[in-house]
C-alpha cells in the first residue's frame, strides 16, 4: 500500500510566519548602521547599473520654445560652497589630461571655435525645483575629438575652481546634448552660473552639471565618483 508523507503542519506555519516577519526583519536591519549603509550602497549601485542599461545615446531630452523659457533672473544660483570661487577669467584655461593624444591647457577661445550648439532644455535640481533655460556651448564630444580623446575610455572626470568635482560615463559625455556650456540666454555665463565654463547635461540631474570647470581627465579608473555621489547620492542619475 502506497502511503504519502505530508509535510508537518508546523513547518508550513514556520515559513508563513517567517514571511510575515520579513518586513520587520528588514526594518530591524536598517536600524543597524553598517547593515543599513551596505544595503543602501547596493541599492544605489543596482539603480546606476539599471539606469545605464536603459540609457539611449540617440534619445534626446525634450527641448522647449522661447516662450517657455524661465527668465534668467529666476534661474537660481545653486552652489555647494560659494557662488563665485574667484576665477581670474582673463587667465583661465582648462587643463586636459588622461587618455588623450593632445593633453595640455586649452583656452576659452579654442573651445568657442568649435561648432556652437544652442538648446533650450529643462534643468532639474535634486532639491525639487526645475527651470527651463537656454544654453549655448560646444558639444563635449567635439571637444574630446579636438584633444584626441580615447572614446573607448570609460569615464570623464571634471574638477572645478571651488573644489567641486564630478564624473560621467563616456556614453553620457558623448550624448549630442551634453555641452561644455559658456553661454546662457545668448550671453557669457555669469559667475554664479559657472563662468567661464560649465557642463550642461539635460539628460542628467542638476548636480551633474558642474560649474567653473578647471580640469577634464579622460580615464578608465574612478578614484572619486563625484562630490555628492561620494556622500551617498546616485552616480548615474539619468532623467
* Calculated CA dihedral for residues 58, 126, 48, 168, nearest 10 degrees: 60
**What class, spelled out in words, does domain 60-231 have in CATH?**
alpha beta
pLDDT at 44: 46
Every domain of the chain and the residues it spans: 9-47, 60-231
Who wins on pLDDT, 56 or 165? 165
What cell does 127 get?
532639491
**Model's pTM, two decimal places?**
0.79
Q: Please, which residues bridge with residue 239 across strands? A: none
pLDDT at 57: 61
**What is the 3-state secondary structure of 19-39?**
HHHHHHHHHHHHCCHHHHHHH
Indicate whether 227 pLDDT > 60. yes
pLDDT in tens, 22-79: 445 444 544 555 544 444 445 445 445 444 445 556 689 999 999 999 999 999 988 8
Q: From CA 79, how far away is CA 125, in angstroms rounded?
A: 11
Amino acid at each position: 500500500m502506497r502511503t504519502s508523507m505530508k509535510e508537518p503542519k508546523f513547518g508550513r506555519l514556520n515559513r508563513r510566519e517567517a514571511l510575515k516577519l520579513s518586513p520587520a526583519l528588514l526594518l530591524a536591519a536598517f536600524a543597524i548602521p553598517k547593515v543599513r549603509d551596505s544595503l543602501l550602497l547596493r541599492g544605489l549601485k543596482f539603480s546606476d547599473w539599471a539606469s545605464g542599461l536603459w540609457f539611449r545615446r540617440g534619445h534626446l531630452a525634450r527641448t522647449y520654445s522661447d516662450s517657455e523659457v524661465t527668465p534668467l533672473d529666476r534661474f537660481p544660483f545653486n552652489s555647494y560652497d560659494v557662488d563665485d570661487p574667484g576665477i581670474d577669467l582673463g587667465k583661465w584655461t582648462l587643463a586636459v589630461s588622461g587618455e588623450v593624444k593632445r593633453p595640455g591647457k586649452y583656452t576659452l577661445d579654442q573651445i568657442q571655435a568649435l561648432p556652437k550648439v544652442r538648446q533650450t532644455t529643462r534643468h532639474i535640481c535634486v532639491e525639487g525645483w526645475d527651470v527651463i533655460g537656454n544654453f549655448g556651448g560646444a558639444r563635449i564630444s567635439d571637444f574630446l575629438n579636438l584633444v584626441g580623446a580615447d572614446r573607448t575610455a570609460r569615464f570623464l572626470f571634471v574638477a572645478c575652481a571651488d573644489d567641486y568635482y564630478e564624473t560621467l560615463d563616456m556614453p553620457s559625455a558623448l550624448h549630442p546634448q551634453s555641452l561644455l556650456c559658456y553661454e546662457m540666454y545668448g550671453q557669457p555665463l555669469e559667475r554664479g552660473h559657472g563662468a567661464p565654463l560649465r557642463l550642461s547635461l539635460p539628460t542628467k540631474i542638476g548636480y551633474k552639471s558642474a560649474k567653473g570647470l578647471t580640469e577634464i581627465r579622460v580615464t578608465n579608473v574612478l578614484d572619486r565618483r563625484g562630490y555628492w555621489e561620494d556622500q551617498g547620492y546616485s552616480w548615474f542619475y539619468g532623467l
